[in-house]
A and B are shown apart, each in its own frame.
Chain A
Amino acid sequence: MASSLTRPSYFRNIASNLAAIPAWLVLLVAYGASMGWTIWISFTSSRVMPVNEFVGLQQYERLWGELAWTTALTNIFIYSVLSIAGSLILGFLLAVAIDQRIRAEGVFRTIFLYPYAMSLIVTGLAWKWIMDPTLGLGKVTRDFGMPWLSFDWLVKPDTAIYVVIAAAIWQTSGFVMAILLAGLRGIDGDLMKAARLDGIPLIRFYLYIVIPELRALIVAAAVLLTIGAAKVYDLVVALTGGGPGLATEVPARFIMIRLFLRQSIGQAAAASTIMLLIVLLIALPWVYFQYVRTPNSRGEKS
């Protein structure tokens, strides 16, 4: 009986493979063909429209000489690391706090979750006002006699990116909170009681017992956050337009501008290809070990 079930007959497998065709189409056509075309274009002299004039590595040579590109890469790295770490930490703290049998839990949960529901194009304007030194918090502190607290971080090149990161954390920590809250609720109640009875201090309890229990969820949340961070565009455009100067330039915006405004799709394609390479370099080993190589989802070796 066991063997006939663990080895489904060839006959039976057709339906499942057919059902997976849409996904294969998406992967091969939408993602694969698009990236293939993009890589090809990066070797051509295309400007506003694709042309097939091969120019070797010219676009790449130019790309690496562009301060905007190297800055965009640096920025996306800083942005990703800090915003993901910040969201995870704040999300965890909020989840723990809400988990403490507080009153009006539903209200708090909604308050922390709503930023995730709103488009950043939309909330970006509100943040831009709040952080405008002549309109928002800076104006309030100035008029109320505290000019040293100028809240002008958004308009200074050195600090602008941190405001963008803060806005990103604002947007996504509620989402992390929701995930981790569910995880906390799923932790064995007896485990908690036992640890409490043993008199383990709170911080050690959370750090060394709870977090390892939540490891899978934290990883999942981190994956979802990373996917969002690599592609960040709306937030930057809404808050700073990439500025001041190049202070908040990011790859998605770099590519977008060269696609349509600067009529230079060869450059955009080169930048896109580099993004793909970076993703492959960083994400591929991890994706491979996590999802492809190791026990498949059913716990059986593939």
Chain B
Amino acid sequence: MRILTPIIISALMVSTAYAQDAAPEAEVLHWFTTGAAAAALGEISQDYQEAGGVWIDNAVASGEAARAVGFNRMVGGQPPSAMMLNVGRQTDDLIDQGLLAPIDEAADASGWNQNAVAAVKEAVTRNGHIYGAPTNVNGQNWLFYNKELFERVGAPVPDTWENFWIALDKLKAEGITALAVGAQPWQLSMMFNHTLAGLGGHDLYLKVFADRDVEAIKSPEFREVVDAMVKMRDYQDPGSPNREWNIAANMLITGNAAIQIHGDWSQAEFDAADWDGYGCLIGTGDKSFIMGGDMFVFPKLSDNASEERKLGQQLLAQVMLSADTQVSYNKNKSSVPSRTDAKFEIVDRCKAQALSAMADPSLTLPADGMLLLPDTVGALMELEGELWAGTVSVDDFVTRFANAIEYAD
């Protein structure tokens, strides 16, 4: 595996005159504090150290806090070498402000440029330069279900919406919590998008998020999606408000709930707990696969940053984008690499679904964060949170949703 190391080291030695004494170092800001995600990141850290770099870990508990730290460090002129964000438009403003360093060379040297998944590469390219190193492509509209509970009540596999409701009713009739929900806005937003893509369909999803078509939002098809969301509320348990996603995933593992509609990192939870009694589906109804990703951006270091830091930053980008590292990272995270030439052994049936969906452009959809600015995404999340809490009517929801999309930048 480590064939890459000598290549990288020699590339470095060629590119800088005095690389001998300066051990490249990188301060990496992220929010993978524990569990499978931390293990995945640990793989990157390990590869980086084997390539000669020093990894300075800066883990912060939540995405919000990590952004607070990262943006403030940029404002304060002392940015970290790399900062974790999600693939999409979260970097738009940073790039416009000239705060991020492009990593074109690293992308070329690692071969990522030539083999990247097209949608992801497009999402991180601006003005012809690459500004982010996506570590994976993750799926955001999976439906996981507890097979044993399904068998027990005789519920059909929920691959169509008809079957979905039948399954929910059968589960509920037996006193089983049908849906494991973590009622936090970001999780609810994923459930909503799953329903929009699955029930509303591939085209409606794109009309809403990509074309910003207000008429599409006011259409009866969209309304049907909202109604479905409202109906799903009846199948959760009372403890769902503010519940963390991994707690919800755990409900499936322990048999306390039957279905979780969430991203593929839930599967990492199942695997980490050595539980394989789960079934997995991409999309109910329409089989489109909503893709997002994790990535690292590389803030422009100040002019008086040390040589170690400058070298370290480029080396880090290269390591992150290398095929082998992508494979070892994704094994732990249950997502797929962001480059198509990574030798990723498909061990399970779920990954197989993902990879075959990704191969067909008519079956893939970009996550909302790829098409909309964080402000709009946040506004929609807030709205979906209100819908789930029952504090906004369907009509108001549609109106405000349309409003947010119409005035999105």
**Interface positions of A (Cβ within 8 A of B):** 47-51, 67-68, 128, 132-135, 138, 150, 152, 154-155, 157, 160, 239-241, 243-247, 256-264, 267
> Which residues in A have their C-beta under 8 angstroms from that of B237?
134
Shortest distance between the CB of A87 and any CB in chain B (Å): 25
Q: Is the CB of A49 within 8 A of B378?
A: no
> Contact between B97 and A49 (Cβ–Cβ < 8 Å)?
yes
Partner of B382, one of A138, A150, A246: A246
Q: A261-B374, A263-B375 are in contact. Are A245 and B391 (CB under 8 A)?
A: yes
A133 touches B239 (CB 8 A): yes
State whether A261 and B64 are in contact (beta carbons under 8 Å apart), knowing that A47-B375, A49-B93 are contacts in the complex.
yes
With contacts A47-B375, A157-B389 known, what are 5 further pairs, Cβ within 8 A? A68-B382, A160-B241, A247-B391, A263-B93, A264-B375
- State how many angstroms separate the Cβ of B373 from the closest Cβ of chain A: 7
A sample of 9 cross-chain residue pairs with beta-carbon separation below 8 angstroms, ordered by A number, consists of: A49-B75, A67-B400, A134-B238, A150-B238, A155-B238, A244-B241, A244-B385, A256-B68, A262-B377
Q: Are A260 and B388 in contact (CB under 8 A)?
A: no
CA distance A96 to B269 in the complex (A): 53
Q: Bound complex: CA of A256 vs CA of B65, how far in Å?
A: 10
Chain B nearest Cβ from A295, distance in angstroms: 44
Per-residue 0/1 for B220-252: is the Cβ within 8 Å of any A Cβ (1 yes, 0 no)? Answer: 000000000000000001111110000000000
Question: Which partner residue on chain A sits nearest B238 by CB separation?
Answer: A133
B391 touches A262 (CB 8 A): no
Residues of A within 8 A of B386 (CB): 67, 245-246
Do B93 and A262 touch (CB < 8 A)?
A: no
Residues B183 and A263 in contact, CB atoms below 8 Å apart: no
Q: Are A155 and B241 in contact (CB under 8 A)?
A: yes
B71 lies within 8 A of chain A by Cβ: yes
Which chain B residues lie closer than 8 Å to A138 at the CB level? 238
Q: Which A residue sits closest to B65, measured CB to CB?
A: A260
Query: Which of A47, A245, A256, A260 touches B385 (beta carbons < 8 Å)?
Result: A245
Residue pair A48, B238 in contact (C-beta under 8 Å):
no
Residues on A with beta carbons closer than 8 Å to the beta carbon of B379? 262
> Which residue of the partner chain, among A51, A240, A260, contacts B71 with CB atoms under 8 Å?
A260
Kindly identify which residue among A50, A260, A264 contacts B68, using a CB–CB cutoff of 8 Å.
Answer: A260
Chain B residues whose C-beta falls within 8 Å of the C-beta of A133 in the assembled complex: 238-239
Q: How many residues of B contact A (CB 8 A)?
A: 36
Closest Cβ neighbor of A46 among chain B residues: B93
- The interface residues of chain A lying within 8 Å CB-to-CB of B241 are 154-155, 160, 240, 243-244
Residue B78 lies at the interface, judged by CB distance under 8 Å to chain A: no
Tell me which residues across on chain A come within 8 A of B239, comparing CB atoms: 132-135, 155
How close is A136's CB to chain B, nearest CB, in angstroms? 10
**Is B97 a contact of A48 with CB atoms below 8 Å?**
yes
Q: A246 and B374: CB pair below 8 A? A: no
Q: B: which residues have CB within 8 A of A?
A: 63-64, 67-68, 71, 74-75, 90, 93-94, 97, 99, 183-185, 237-242, 373-375, 377-379, 382, 385-386, 388-392, 400
Query: Does more than half of chain B's interface fall in helix, strand or loop, or is it mixed?
Result: helix
Cα-based distance from A160 to B99 in the complex (angstroms): 41
Residues of B within 8 A of A132 (CB): 239
Chain A residues contacting B67 (CB-CB under 8 Å) are 260-261
Task: Provide the residues of chain B in CB contact with A241, threshold 8 Å.
Answer: 184, 242
Q: A48-B97, A157-B391, A260-B71 are in contact. Are A243 and B184 (CB under 8 A)?
A: yes
Q: Which residues of A contact B75 (CB under 8 A)?
A: 49-50
Q: Which residue of A is nearest B400, CB measured?
A: A67
Nearest-CB residue, chain A, relative to B251? A134
Residue of B nearest to A155 (CB): B241
A27 CB, min distance to chain B CBs, angstroms: 23
B75's nearest neighbour on chain A, judged by CB, is: A49
Which residues of A sit under 8 angstroms from B400, Cβ to Cβ? 67
Task: List chain B residues, Cβ under 8 A from A246.
Answer: 382, 385-386, 389, 391
B-side contacts of A244, CB under 8 Å: 183, 241-242, 385, 388-389, 391
Please name the residue on chain A nearest to B392 by beta carbon: A245
A262–B375 touching, CB < 8 Å = yes
Task: Give Cα distance in the complex from A261 to B237, angstroms.
Answer: 29
| Residue from B99, B238, B373 within 8 A of A49 (CB atoms) | B99
Chain A's closest residue to B69 (CB) is: A260
Indicate if the CB atoms of A263 and B389 lie closer than 8 Å: no
* Identity of the chain A residue whose Cβ is nearest the Cβ of B390 in the assembled complex: A157
A247 to B390, CA, bound (A): 11
Contact present for B378 and A261 (CB under 8 Å): yes
Q: Which of A50, A138, A240, A263 has the most CB of B within 10 A?
A: A263
| In the complex with contacts A261-B63, A261-B378, A262-B374, A49-B94 CB distance below 8 A | yes
Give, as a whole number of angstroms, the nearest-CB distance from B27 to chain A.
Answer: 19
